[in-house]
C-alpha cells in the first residue's frame, strides 16, 4: 500500500489549479449512456473513482478513450444492461448507472454498491423515485433488477434532498412520457452540471440549483463536447492547506459561488481571502482563530466533504471550536488519527469539540476515507517533524497527484510505494 511521508513546517506559497469536479464527472459519465452519439468531456482528472466508472462503461460495451484530461466516449455499441459487480462494489456512486441504463435499455441490473465507510447511505429514495416513474423493481439477494416497459412522468417529493436520488431520477425521467417534477431536490452545483450536460445532448431539464427540477420526457440523441465544472471540494482543501500552514496561496479555476460556504469559514478562522474572477488567494495566520460553531448541511450549507479538513485547521486554533456533522453518522473516523498527532478533540454523537493546541507532532496515522485522509495530510503539513499517512488509496479516489501539487507550492511531501 502507498503512503505519504510529510515533513511539516513549510508555508505553502504559489499557485495551484483545480481540475474538474469528481462528483460531476461520475453522473455525467453515466448520462453518456442516454445518447448513441459520441461525447467528449474535458477537464477530467485521473482519479481512482473515475477510472472505475470508465471500467463500467467499457464493460457494458462503450468505447472509451482518454487523451490527457479529455475523455472521448462512444456509447453506440452498448451490449448489456447488467452493471458489472466488480466495479459497483468498489464505488458507491455507481448506483447512478441505474437510472441511466433504465433510460437507455428499459431495464437494468446492479448489485448493492460499496465505497467509503462514512455512514449509512441508503438508496431507498432512489428506488422510491424510480418506482414513481412506473419502473418495476425486484430488490433481493443483494441485487436490484429494474424493468420499465412504460415510464410515465410523475410528481415526486423527496423526504431528503439526496444528491444521488435527484440525479438518478433525472436520468431515468428523460425516457418517461410527459413531465417529471422533483420536489425538495438537491441543489448542489453538480446537479446543475448534470442538467447542462443532458441538455447539451438533446434532453430538456430545468430548475437544477433550486428545490424543484422539471424533466421533460425527451430522449437525448445528440453528441457534444462538454467541460466539467471545477471541483469545489478540491479547491476548499487546497485553500485550507494554505490556511493551516500560514501560507500565501493562489487557487485557480474555481467558481466562487460554489465555494462561498468554505470561504466564509476560512475568513472566520482569520485567513485573508482575496477573490477575483476564477481565482482565490488565501493568506493564512500564524495560528488560526477558533470558529464557534459549524454545522454540515446540504448545499448551500457548509459541505460535509470539508468537515474533516476544517477540523484539522481548527485543531491548531487559538481557542475552542465546535463542529456538528448532520449528514453522515460515521464521519469522525479521522478524529482518533488527529489525536495521535496531538490534537485535543472530544466527540459526542454528531458533535466534535476541538480545543486548539499550539502544535501538532508528527507520527504515523491511517486514512480511513477520502476526505479524512486529506485532512490528515493537511495536519501533517502543520505538524512538527515527520508524519506518515498510510492507506492513501482512499485519497487517490478524489485528488489527482495531491503530493505533486503540494510540492509545487513548497510542501515537503513524497509518495512511498510499499
- Whether the upstream peptide bond of residue 223 has omega within 30° of 0, thus cis, is no
For residue 130, give Cα distances in angstroms to 47, 101, 121, 163, 325: 29, 12, 17, 14, 29
Burial class (CB in 10 A: 0-12, 13-18, 19+), 418: exposed
Please return the burial class of 85, using the count of CB atoms within 10 Å of its CB with bins 0-12, 13-18 and 19+. middle
* Separation of alpha carbons 378 and 202, rounded Å: 43
406/412 Cα distance (integer angstroms): 8
Q: By C-alpha distance, which of 286, 275, 283, 288 is closest to 248?
A: 283
Stated as kind and residue range, the H or E segment containing 52 is helix 48-59
Are 247 and 285 spatial neighbours (Cβ–Cβ below 8 Å)?
no
Catalytic option among 44, 62, 116, 146:
116
Q: What is the three-class DSSP state of 136?
A: strand
Rounded CA gap, 69 and 55, in Å?
A: 16
User: What residues form DSSP beta bridges with 351?
Assistant: 324, 348
179, containing H or E segment: strand 179-183
How would you class 142 by CB atoms within 10 Å of its CB: exposed for 0-12, middle for 13-18, buried for 19 or more?
A: exposed
Annotation marks residue 44 as catalytic: no
| Residues forming the active site | 116
Amino acid at each position: 500500500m502507498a503512503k505519504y511521508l510529510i515533513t511539516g513546517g513549510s508555508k505553502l506559497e504559489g499557485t495551484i489549479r483545480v481540475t474538474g469536479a469528481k462528483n460531476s464527472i461520475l453522473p455525467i459519465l453515466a448520462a453518456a449512456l442516454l445518447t448513441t452519439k459520441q461525447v467528449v468531456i474535458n477537464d477530467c482528472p485521473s482519479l481512482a473513482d473515475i477510472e472505475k466508472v470508465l471500467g463500467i462503461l467499457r464493460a457494458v460495451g462503450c468505447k472509451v478513450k482518454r487523451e490527457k484530461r479529455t475523455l472521448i466516449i462512444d456509447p453506440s455499441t452498448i451490449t448489456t444492461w447488467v452493471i458489472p459487480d466488480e466495479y459497483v462494489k468498489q464505488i458507491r456512486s455507481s448506483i447512478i448507472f441505474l437510472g441511466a441504463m433504465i433510460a437507455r435499455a428499459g431495464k437494468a441490473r446492479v448489485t448493492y454498491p460499496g465505497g467509503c465507510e462514512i455512514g449509512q447511505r441508503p438508496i431507498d429514495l432512489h428506488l422510491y423515485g424510480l418506482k414513481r416513474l412506473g419502473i418495476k423493481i425486484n430488490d433481493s439477494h443483494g441485487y436490484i433488477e429494474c424493468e420499465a416497459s412504460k415510464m410515465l412522468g410523475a410528481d415526486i417529493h423527496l423526504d431528503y434532498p439526496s444528491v444521488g436520488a435527484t440525479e438518478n431520477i433525472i436520468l431515468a425521467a428523460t425516457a418517461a412520457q410527459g413531465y417529471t417534477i422533483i420536489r425538495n431536490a438537491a441543489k448542489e452545483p453538480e446537479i446543475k452540471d448534470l442538467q447542462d450536460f443532458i441538455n447539451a445532448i438533446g434532453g430538456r431539464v430545468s430548475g437544477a440549483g433550486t428545490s424543484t427540477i422539471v424533466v421533460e420526457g425527451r430522449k437525448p440523441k445528440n453528441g457534444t463536447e462538454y467541460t466539467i465544472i471545477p471541483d469545489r471540494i478540491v479547491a476548499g482543501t487546497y485553500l485550507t492547506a494554505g490556511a493551516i500552514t500560514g501560507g500565501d496561496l493562489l487557487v485557480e479555476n474555481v467558481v466562487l459561488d460554489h465555494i462561498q460556504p468554505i470561504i466564509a469559514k476560512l475568513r472566520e478562522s482569520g485567513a485573508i481571502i482575496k477573490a477575483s474572477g476564477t481565482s482565490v488567494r488565501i493568506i493564512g495566520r500564524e495560528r488560526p482563530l477558533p470558529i464557534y460553531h459549524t454545522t454540515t448541511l446540504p448545499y448551500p450549507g457548509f459541505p460535509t466533504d470539508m468537515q474533516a479538513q476544517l477540523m484539522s485547521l481548527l485543531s491548531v486554533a487559538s481557542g475552542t471550536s465546535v463542529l456538528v456533522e448532520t449528514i453522515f453518522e460515521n464521519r469522525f473516523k479521522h478524529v482518533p488519527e488527529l489525536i495521535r498527532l496531538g490534537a485535543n478533540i472530544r466527540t459526542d454523537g454528531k458533535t466534535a469539540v476541538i480545543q486548539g493546541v499550539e502544535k501538532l507532532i508528527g507520527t504515523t496515522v491511517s486514512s480511513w476515507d477520502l476526505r479524512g485522509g486529506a485532512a490528515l495530510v493537511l495536519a501533517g503539513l502543520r505538524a512538527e517533524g515527520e508524519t506518515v499517512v498510510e492507506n492513501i488509496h482512499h485519497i487517490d479516489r478524489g485528488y489527482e497527484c495531491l503530493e505533486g501539487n503540494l510540492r509545487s507550492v513548497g510542501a515537503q511531501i513524497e509518495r512511498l510505494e510499499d
